[in-house]
Structure 1
Amino acid sequence: MNRICLALLMIGAWSEAGHALDREQRHGKALLETECARCHAVGKTGRSPLNEAPPFRTFGDKLYDTDFEQRLQDGLTTIHPGMPTFRFSRDDAEAVVNYLKAIQSRKKPK
């Protein structure tokens, strides 16, 4: 029995390490937690505090637009009246995008 528990703990630790965020991604996550978490879910799981605010892990292909990172630097705006405009430095925008790419939900094959 102890061997089984130890094996399960080792597998869990290995899989967790495989999903660890690098320093830049942790910085991006911290920025989003500070600026966006009051409305959006910014992690790999969880619901957004506001129902209308999509979880960031569902952004998918939007993150791969050639201009998304630039829009974060120029001032991300939206037609949603309650969302403020955010402006990130180049390094911060890169960190945010890299973090968001790391947490995207994987679609299950049909």
Structure 2
Amino acid sequence: MKRCASALLAIGVLWSTGSEALDLEQRRVEAMLQRMCARCHAVGRTGTSPNALATPFRYLGENKLYDPDFTQRLQDGYSSIHRAMPTARFGREDTEAVVNYLRAIQEPHTPK
């Protein structure tokens, strides 16, 4: 019985540590996106984009976030046809973290 309780405790500790790490990672990515993108985009779970033409990141859509081309473009240098948008380039680890963050904040969007 003690072994079972110890095993469950260990699993609980690992799970909570993993959840905490994910939260820390998401906060790190959100802060990075705030610095890089918030001049135009709403980067979090709430809020409107300062630039009305810039999609809030929570509305990017799952299709884009599971597209390998999108992930590769983040690594190669993501840019837009909009002149005001700077090229965003991420290393492999940051790319994975950005995509995971964006997946975590997605919500359905109904245009007004």
User: Same fold by TM (over 0.5)?
Assistant: yes
Unaligned runs of 5+ in 1: 1-17
* Equivalent in the alignment of 2:49: 48
Pick one of 77, 82, 85 that aligns with 1:83.
85
8 Å Cα contact 1:40/1:55 also seen in 2: yes
Distance 1:78 1:107 in 2: 22
8 Å Cα contact 1:73/1:87 also seen in 2: yes
| Cα 1:107–1:86 shift into 2, 3 Å | closer
Q: Describe how 1:8-87 pairs up with structure 2 within 5 A.
A: 22-60=23-61, 61-87=63-89
| Cα 1:91–1:79 shift into 2, 3 Å | same
8 Å Cα contact 2:59/2:109 also seen in 1: no
Higher RCO (CA 8 Å, separation ≥ 6 residues): 1
RMSD: 1.9
Code of the residue aligned with 2:39 in structure 1: it is R
TM-score (norm 2): 0.72
Unaligned runs of 5+ in 2: 1-18
How many pairs are equivalent?
89
Distance 2:23 2:103 in 1: 12
Q: How much has 1:95 moved relative to structure 2? A: 0.9
Greater fraction helix:
2
